């Protein structure tokens, strides 16, 4: 039985306990006495910033706000509402209980809202524009990090004068601990939004910049190591190749090397900063690390993204589970008596969806939910604001008239016949889960005359096909090599001080203002 499935027993027990807990907001108070001195970010004159700040301030005036010591932002990359629903059912069925009535840990948080994910220039945004909204309080262009909408995509010269400060920068400047956890490359869009200023999200290493690399336009990996605010206290994720020089062997895979062309070994530069700067790259090193010390830990567990949860056991050197990384991060950050700000990203939910591979998306969502459960277990709702949300959705749909208890990854079976039964009008069965577009619209039929894969793009007969297989791609309508994001609102769940501001339908960039006001890092609009 896979680890994610076994761990669901603990998640189920915790979810029941959390559901029984009653969150109280106390008497309304519009003043936050967190001990931090509010800092006005440089983007405070941005129209998006002002609008979101005013909306949050109005709710504070009406409902009050308690001060938070710590903030944890959980981002399930691509975890739309259909993904949450399907994962809920899958989690329950995997645990041998009723899936439809099952509750994920994130669903036990007492406050929730719908978050609007459009960017300044796209109806359906990417992870960069949406991440900037959450960590900087503005809407910006899709594809950029740490800059406002006046910057130009791919134009280094447009960065100066158009940068935005993040919650993590304000926290570090105020003496709080900071941490990043992701199952993606730590230089990928979502975690990079915490520290990078770049007009192109893909400029992760200098070789990705095609000659644009310079001291005034730095690649993302370099920006992490040279972060002006000091260093993050803990960084755990993937992406070693972006930190190692080309030709330098990867410490885990003999056939892989680094990517950098500037001959800089950024990992060595990290460890050379002080005896307390540590680096780990495998499960053994992670398990041996003491996260109760002041050591600043950089953990990069893969050359690229970390393994999908379904494949994690196949890693020869082993990888920590996202829940284990979350536990380590909270343990390390809790050493700071002033408090901390932490981001935890389930980055590979998104990648599985892009591949039209629902089972891996659901498995990674289950693992992500266990990380949420871990944080709820380790923290106090009286001093820690936890927000669980997604940056954007995907085109996953749950459709048909499947009967109660039907395997969520299986063929739709209603048992009632007639319209909406288990067969299409073409006489072929269909799966409950499907995508509006993506690689599942076509099936490989062999090789063409040049030896390249040949595809047939039509509805395939799934009779006798194992739709629960690890590599099965759910059927899709529009054939694309990579399935796309979805543009509908995503869920935001919250608990702890400031959680009472997460309700209704909100702009995604309001989450920054909720977190910043709760922890006392940004001032109220009338104090601007």
54 φ/ψ sector (left φ>0, alpha ψ -120 to 50, else beta): alpha
Residue pair 412/429 in contact by the 8 Å Cβ criterion:
yes
395 φ/ψ sector (left φ>0, alpha ψ -120 to 50, else beta): alpha
Instruction: Cite the beta strand spans of 155-233 per DSSP E.
Output: 177-185
Q: How far apart are the first and last CA of the chain?
A: 55
Q: Which runs of consecutive H residues, i.e. helices, occur in 178-244?
A: 189-192, 220-225
Find, among 230, 118, 87, 255, the residue nearest to 172 by Cα.
230
Give catalytic status of residue 127 as yes or no. yes
Element (H or E) spanning 366, and its range? helix 358-378
Find, among 453, 454, 470, 473, the residue nearest to 462 by Cα.
473
Find, among 435, 430, 438, 436, the residue nearest to 355 by Cα.
438
- Active site residue: 127, 142, 174, 495, which one? 127
Instruction: Cite the beta strand spans of 204-267 per DSSP E.
Output: 234-238
Question: Phi and psi (nearest 5°) for 361?
Answer: -65, -40
Residues with a catalytic annotation lie at 127
């Amino acid at each position: 039985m896979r680890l994610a499935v076994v761990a669901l027993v603990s998640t189920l027990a915790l979810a029941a306990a959390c559901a029984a807990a009653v969150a109280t907001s106390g008497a309304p108070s519009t003043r936050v006495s967190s001990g931090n001195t509010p800092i006005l970010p440089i983007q405070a004159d941005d129209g998006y910033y002002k609008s979101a700040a005013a909306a949050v301030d109005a709710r504070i005036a009406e409902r009050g706000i308690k001060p938070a010591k710590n903030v944890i932002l959980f981002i399930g990359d691509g975890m739309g509402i259909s993904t949450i629903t399907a994962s809920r059912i899958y989690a329950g069925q995997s645990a041998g209980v009723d899936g439809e009535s099952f509750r994920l840990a994130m669903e036990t948080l007492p406050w929730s809202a719908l978050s609007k994910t459009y960017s300044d220039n796209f109806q359906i945004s990417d992870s960069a524009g949406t991440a900037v909204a959450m960590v900087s309080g503005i809407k910006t262009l899709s594809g950029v990090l740490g800059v406002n909408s006046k910057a130009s995509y791919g134009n280094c010269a447009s960065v100066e004068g158009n940068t935005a400060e993040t919650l993590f920068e304000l926290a570090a400047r105020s003496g709080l601990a900071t941490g990043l956890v992701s199952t993606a490359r730590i230089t990928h869009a979502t975690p990079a939004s915490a520290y990078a200023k770049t007009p192109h999200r893909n400029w992760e290493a200098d070789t990705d910049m095609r000659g644009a690399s310079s001291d005034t336009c730095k690649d993302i990996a370099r920006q992490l190591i040279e972060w002006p605010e000091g260093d993050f206290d803990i960084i755990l994720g993937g992406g070693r190749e972006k930190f190692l020089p080309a030709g330098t062997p990867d410490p885990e895979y003999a056939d892989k090397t680094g990517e950098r062309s500037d001959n800089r070994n950024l990992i060595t530069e990290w460890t050379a900063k002080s005896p307390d700067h540590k680096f780990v790259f495998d499960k053994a090193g992670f398990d041996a690390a003491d996260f109760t010390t002041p050591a600043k830990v950089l953990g990069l567990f893969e050359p690229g993204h970390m393994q999908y949860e379904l494949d994690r056991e196949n890693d020869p050197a082993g990888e920590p589970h996202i829940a284990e990384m979350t536990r380590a991060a909270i343990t390390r950050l809790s050493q700071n008596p002033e408090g901390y700000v932490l981001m935890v990203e389930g980055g590979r939910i998104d990648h599985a969806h892009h591949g039209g591979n629902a089972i891996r998306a659901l498995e990674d969502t289950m693992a992500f939910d266990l990380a949420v459960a871990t944080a709820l277990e380790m923290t106090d709702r009286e001093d820690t604001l936890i927000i669980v949300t997604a940056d954007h959705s995907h085109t996953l749909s749950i459709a048909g008239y499947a009967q109660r208890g039907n395997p969520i990854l299986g063929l739709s079976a209603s048992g009632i016949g007639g319209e909406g039964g288990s067969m299409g009008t073409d006489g072929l069965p269909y799966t409950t889960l499907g995508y509006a577009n993506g690689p599942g619209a076509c099936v490989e039929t062999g090789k063409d005359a040049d030896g390249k894969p040949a595809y047939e793009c039509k509805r395939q007969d799934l009779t006798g096909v194992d739709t629960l297989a690890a590599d099965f791609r759910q059927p899709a309508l529009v054939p694309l090599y990579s399935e796309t994001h979805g543009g509908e609102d995503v869920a935001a769940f919250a608990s702890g001080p400031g959680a009472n501001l997460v309700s209704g339908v909100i702009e995604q960039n309001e989450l920054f203002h909720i977190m910043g006001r709760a922890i006392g890092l940004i001032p109220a609009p009338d104090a601007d």
